[in-house]
């Protein structure tokens, strides 16, 4: 199964199709999804990237998706992304939380909170 090899990874979505597919798959799984809206030219995105990779390894029951705002402009626009990085928390098709900026503690705390609610 494709899912198992992606577990513990931040999955890059490089086309609108791939994005839609990953999002649908994630919503069906009822798992918590964290979408990282990022840009290659954004220093703060490079600052947080290693930390996000660590979180993905640690929170294996959470799906981590990555969207480059230049690559998938329409998606970034639809999701009203204005600053990078923006992390959007999605659960069963609903946006439940958001972190704008590279804020390590905040990202980890919100992850812990939403994982706890999901398993409660």
Partner 1 sequence: MAVSGFEGFEKRLELHFFGDDFQLGLRKIDFESIQLVLEQVQCTVVSAVGNAYFDAYVLSESSLFVYPTKIIIKTCGTTQLLKSIRPLIFYSRLIGLTLCSCRYTRGTFIFPKSQPFPHTSFKDEVTYLEDTIPSNLCFRKASIMPSMSSSHSWHVFTATIDHHDQDNELFTMEVCMTDLDPILARKFFRRPDDGKTGHSAGKEMTELTGINDINADALVCDFAFDPCGYSMNGMDGDWYSTIHVTPEDGFSYASFECVGSVNANNIGHVLRKVVQIFRPGTMSVSTTCSGYSNEMWKQMATAVEPLGFKCRSCAMDQFPAAATVVFQTFTPRRKST
The residue behind tokens 């999605």 is 90
**Could you say whether residue 51 binds partner 1 (CB under 8 A)?**
no
Exposure string for 56-90, b = 16+ CB within 10 A, e = fewer? beebeebbbbbbbbebbeebbeebebeebbbbbbb
* Of the residues 39, 52, 63, 75, which one makes contact with partner 1 according to CB under 8 A: 39
The SS3 assignment for 19 reads helix
* Of the residues 1, 5, 74, 105, which one makes contact with partner 1 according to CB under 8 A: 105
Whichever of 3 and 101 has its CB closer to partner 1, that residue is: 101
Residues found near partner 1 in the complex (CB under 8 A): 39, 41-48, 82-85, 100-106, 109
Query: Hey, which residues are catalytic here?
Result: 42, 45
């Amino acid at each position: 199964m494709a899912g198992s090899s992606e577990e513990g990874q931040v999955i890059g979505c490089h086309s609108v199709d791939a994005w839609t597919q990953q999002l649908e798959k994630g919503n069906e799984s009822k798992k918590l999804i964290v979408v990282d809206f990022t840009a290659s030219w954004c220093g703060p995105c490079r600052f947080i990237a290693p930390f996000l990779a660590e979180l993905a390894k640690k929170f294996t029951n959470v799906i981590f998706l990555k969207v480059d705002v230049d690559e998938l402009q329409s998606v970034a626009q639809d999701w009203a992304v204005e600053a990078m990085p923006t992390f959007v928390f999605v659960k069963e098709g609903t946006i439940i939380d958001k972190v704008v900026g590279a804020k390590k503690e905040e990202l980890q705390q919100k992850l812990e909170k939403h994982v706890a609610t999901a398993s409660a």
